[in-house]
Amino acid sequence: MKPTAGIIGIGHYLPEKIITNEDLVAQGLDTSDDWIQSRTGIRERRIISEEENTSTLALEAARKAIQSAGIDTSTIGLVVVATSTSDYGGFPSVACQVQHALGLPNIPAFDISAACTGFNYALTTAQQYIENNMVKTALVIGADALSKIMDWTDRNTCILFGDGAGAVVLSQTEKSKGIHYAELFSDGSQAEILKIDNERIEMEGRAVFKVAVKNVVPSISEAILKAGLKNEDIDFLIPHQANIRIIKQMSDRLGLSDDKVVTNLEKYGNTSAASIPIALSEAFEKKRISSGDTLVLVGFGAGFTWGINILEWEL
C-alpha cells in the first residue's frame, strides 16, 4: 500500500515594503483606491527591497516551515520551488539556491513553472515522490517577486501583483490524513491572455476572468465528487488570491459561505505561486484551521493552467 503525503510544517515570508493603492495614484497612475478595491479587492501589496530576491523570500519561508515541522534538515529528500521569477531569469534554479543555503545534501532540487498554479503543481509533484517511496520528506515552496517584471505604468497589471513566499514540509503520514486528491490541468490555447513578453507582464484581464470561471469552477465540483465528498464536507476553500470577484464566483457556485473561504489579497495582492501557501500559513497561524479540517486548495493562472488539491489538515 502506498504511503500518504501530508503537510507537517508550514511557514511564509513577506517583504516589509508596502505599496498602497494611494501610493500608486501618487506616483501618477491613472486610477483610484476605490476603483482598484471595487474591481480586485486589493488595498496594498508587499514589494521586495533592492537587497532581496525570489530566493531570499523562498529561503525565509522554508526556514519557518522547517521550524514548524520540528525536523532536522538532513531528513529532507527533495526541494521543489514553484516560481516564475527565478533570480537569474532561468538557471540556476531557486530550489538549488535554497538547497545550498540550507546545507542540504546532494538531493534533487528543481523549479516548476506553472505561474499562479505553481504551488499546486509543486505540491502534487512532491506528493508523487512520497507516495512512490522515492523520498520520505519534501520541502515545497511557492515564491515570486513579480515586482521585478512589472510595468509600473500599466494599470492593467501593476495594481494586481505583489511579492512573497510560502512553504510547506510534506512527509509520509497516516492514511486517514494528508492529501486525498490532486488533479492538474492546462489549456495552451489560452496562452496569450497572460504572459511575460519583453520581460514584462502582459494580461488580458477580462479574458483571464472568463477562462478562470469557465474552467476552474466546474473542475472544483468534479474534484470534490471524485474525492468522495460533498460541498458541505469542505471546511475551507483556499484559492489563489487573484481577484475577489473570481473568488466570489467560486464560493457562490459551490454554495460556500464567506467564513469558509480564506482570503488575504486585500493585504498582499496576487503573489502568484506564493498566494496559496501564504494564505494557508496565515490561516494556520491565526488558528482558523485545525487538525481534521478538509481543505480545498485551488490555483489558476497563465498557461492557461489550473489545479486542485484536497487534503485533511493534521497540524
Among all residues, which ones are annotated catalytic? 116, 240, 270
Going across the sheet that includes 4-13, the strands are 4-13, 163-173, 137-145, 78-82, 109-112
Q: Which residue in the block uniquely carries the three cell numbers 473570481?
A: 246
The CA-based angle 300-179-255, given to 5 degrees, is 55
Going across the sheet that includes 305-312, the strands are 178-186, 305-312, 294-301, 236-239
Cell matching residue 215: 474552467
DSSP state, 261? Answer: B
Continuous H helices in the chain: 21-26, 33-40, 54-69, 94-101, 118-131, 155-158, 205-226, 244-254, 265-268, 275-285
Output the CA torsion sign for 57, 84, 266, 79: negative
DSSP state, 74? Answer: G
- Distance between CA atoms of 95 and 106, rounded to whole angstroms? 12
Residues in a beta bridge with 307: 184, 299
User: Does residue 134 sit in helix, strand or coil?
Assistant: coil
- Distance between CA atoms of 224 and 157, rounded to whole angstroms? 32
Q: Determine how β-strand 294-301 pairs with β-strand 178-186.
A: unpaired
- Distance between CA atoms of 68 and 280, rounded to whole angstroms? 13
Q: Answer yes or no: are the C-beta atoms of 140 and 63 closer than 8 Å.
A: no
